[in-house]
Amino acid sequence: MPSPPPSPQNRTPLLASGEPFVWLTGMGLVVGLAMVVVLLGLIVYKGLEAFWPHRVARIELTTSAQEREGAPFLVAMVIESRHKKAPGEGDREELYLQTGNKDFFGSGFRYLDADEVASISYPPDEVVIEQIEYLTIGTLVSLQRPGAAPIEAEAPGFLPALKETLAAARARSAEIEHLEKVRIGDNAARIQALRIERKRLERVAGDAPPDPAAIASIDEQTAELQSAFEGMAAEARALRAEQDASTLTYRIADGREKSIVAGQVVHVTWPNQMGFAGRLGQFFKNMWAFVSENPREANTAGGIFPALFGTFVMTVILSIAVTPFGVIAAIYLREYAKEGLVVRTVRIAINNLAGVPSIVFGVFGLGFFVYGLGGSIDRLFYPDSEGPVFGTGGILWASLTLALMTVPVVIVATEESLAAVSRGVREGSLACGASKWQTIQRVVLPAAGPGIITGMILAMARGAGEVAPLMIVGVVKWAETLPVDTTAPFLHLDRKFMHLGFHIFDLAFQSPDSEAARPMVFASTLLLITLVVTMNLGAIFIRERLRRKYATGAF
């Protein structure tokens, strides 16, 4: 016979069974995932939108708007349309416009009520001229090249001549950059090295006069390098004069005209003449320029390559520094140290370090690494340097500071993975005659490898996104040189560097033109997330290969 149903007195209350809390935790998970998806979706959408070429609109104004603006129409790119609540007027639609021509209007962006728009058209002759400093929207008038008559924009040979002139200007810009940054930079570095060597000889000689032959040799080499510098400087001036010889004249919406040097033009596009394929091609060109070029106009235009490269190099150095120390500390705590008050205290300290605010690590890095180790290195190895070498912020101290901040993550993850390795595997290795270290090295560590890499992934993800410590120990708004280049010793650990996280902070809160910086903020954020995800996927791929190789591992 079936058992009778439980009496009401014996039934377990629904609240006590825990089922409502299961649903509650599930709802919390769904809400959390939805928030993450929405945030990532917004970043992806806004980040990619920054590269899409908008069409140039000719906006005919209503009569009242014409009287206020003093012109019958506006020429601008319509970035977005939004609804705004005005007191006493209800919802109102307004257009967010990029008018460009900051040198004329004082600002390159503005808002316009949709009620003040009579009509919108897209003339095919409107161009977008991206200069080194400003973005210009208007129509081309003429091109003036040295030793030739001006070429009107309507002339048949105008477009080929413009392309040829801009291509030659870009080639000269690359030549000038190589001359000033590489050749003149190397020359200046050699002069600086000779100056330091001269000071060293004078310091070693003390009160006695330094070796006359050595001083004469140094002075002779310095004179030769100085003469070479003057020749390269003259060559750079000649290239710049040639760069300024061609001018391009354009007209803005209100009829005013202006001539600009062709060497200041980055590129010229006719977005209204592009079809979908052309706009898509320009979209990918803009993405490549953003990734491969240097920033311009207070970081609100141009590319982001130095910040991207600096973030990558810093994260690699961070991983190289944090992994060995974290793994060694975990091996000692798990395999060799005897449980007691000291070990418990160390574990408590490690767990507490994971919760210390990152700015505290930045202050510690400044005092210990920069002033302590860096100052000692300068006193021992660079006593004749005219300024601090390692005694100031640099990519080495920034990486070590973040390594110190993330080492608790690696220690905890490594300890857990070591503890999960089967005791039978260890005893089998010891029974075969292996020593304890051989067992750890050849059996335990490979089996715990996926868990160790998991800790490294977490450390990389946290370190790559930190900003506060870097502001104290080496990151800058603009770095003229990269931490890695073709000059020996190739990896310059003493150099300051740019970082994507600080770049985003600078654009969002310290930019002189917040409207121009807004699309750059989303694009830079998208790039930072992509970089972190890419590096993590590489580490995850290695972890999966180790997991398949050592199938007995617990992770």
Q: Which H or E element spans position 45?
A: helix 19-49
Give the whole-number percent of the chain exceeding pLDDT 70: 94
Q: Transcribe 394-407 into DSSP letters.
A: -HHHHHHHHHHHHH
Average pLDDT on 32-50 reads 91
Confidence at residue 186, expressed as pLDDT on a 0 to 100 scale: 86
At residue 1, does pLDDT exceed 60? no
SS3 assignment, position 331: helix
Give the CATH fold of the 317-493+530-549 domain: MetI-like fold (1.10.3720)
Residues 72-109: pLDDT tens digits? 888 888 888 877 665 555 667 888 888 888 888 878 88
Where does the pLDDT of residue 454 fall: very low under 50, low under 70, confident under 90, or very high at 90 and above? confident
Return d(Cα 343, Cα 340) in angstroms, integer.
5
Confidence at residue 19, expressed as pLDDT on a 0 to 100 scale: 77
At residue 428, does pLDDT exceed 90? no
Return d(Cα 396, Cα 303) in angstroms, integer.
25
At residue 553, does pLDDT exceed 50? no
Where does the pLDDT of residue 364 fall: very low under 50, low under 70, confident under 90, or very high at 90 and above? very high
Average pLDDT on 409-424 reads 87
**Token digits for 38?**
């929405």
Residues 263-288: pLDDT tens digits? 888 888 999 998 899 999 999 999 99
Do 474 and 497 touch, CB atoms closer than 8 A? yes
Confidence at residue 283, expressed as pLDDT on a 0 to 100 scale: 92
Confidence at residue 535, expressed as pLDDT on a 0 to 100 scale: 78
Average pLDDT on 109-130 reads 87
What's the mean per-residue pLDDT of the chain? 85
Q: Which H or E element spans position 61?
A: strand 56-61
At residue 258, does pLDDT exceed 50? yes
Return d(Cα 259, Cα 390) in angstroms, integer.
47
pLDDT greater at residue 17 or residue 378: 378
Return d(Cα 105, Cα 214) in angstroms, integer.
61
Residues 162-220: pLDDT tens digits? 898 889 888 888 898 888 888 888 888 888 888 888 888 888 877 777 778 888 888 88
At residue 554, does pLDDT exceed 50? no
Average pLDDT on 445-454 reads 84
Q: Does the N-terminal peptide bond of residue 489 adopt cis geometry, omega within 30 degrees of 0?
A: yes
Q: Which has the closest alpha carbon to 173: 106, 247, 266, 104? A: 266
Beta bridge partners of 249: 142, 259
At residue 7, does pLDDT exceed 60? no
HSE, CB side, 13 Å, CA atoms: give it for residue 326.
34
Give the whole-number percent of the chain exceeding pLDDT 90: 11
Sign of CA dihedral 366, 371, 375, 377: negative
Give every CB contact of residue 279 below 8 A, 6+ residues apart in sequence.
Answer: 52, 53, 271
At residue 3, does pLDDT exceed 60? no
Beta bridge partners of 137: 128
Q: What is the CA radius of gyration of the chain?
A: 32
At residue 116, does pLDDT exceed 60? yes
Confidence at residue 14, expressed as pLDDT on a 0 to 100 scale: 47
Confidence at residue 263, expressed as pLDDT on a 0 to 100 scale: 85
- Residue 261 dihedral angles phi and psi, to the nearest 5°: -70, 135
Domain extents in the chain = 56-135, 144-279, 317-493+530-549
The Cα angle at residue 512 between residues 506 and 513, in degrees rounded to 5? 100
Return d(Cα 115, Cα 61) in angstroms, integer.
9
At residue 18, does pLDDT exceed 80? no
Confidence at residue 284, expressed as pLDDT on a 0 to 100 scale: 93
Return d(Cα 418, Cα 426) in angstroms, integer.
11
Q: Which has the closest alpha carbon to 463: 523, 394, 531? A: 531
Average pLDDT on 332-348 reads 87
Window from 3-7, 353-357, 394-398, 421-425 with minimum mean pLDDT: 3-7
- pTM given for the model: 0.82
At residue 4, does pLDDT exceed 70? no
Return d(Cα 240, Cα 325) in angstroms, integer.
52
Tokens 């970035």 correspond to 79
Q: What count of other Cβ atoms lies within 10 Å of the Cβ of residue 251? A: 15
Give every CB contact of residue 362 below 8 A, 6+ residues apart in sequence.
Answer: 401, 468, 469, 470, 471, 472, 473
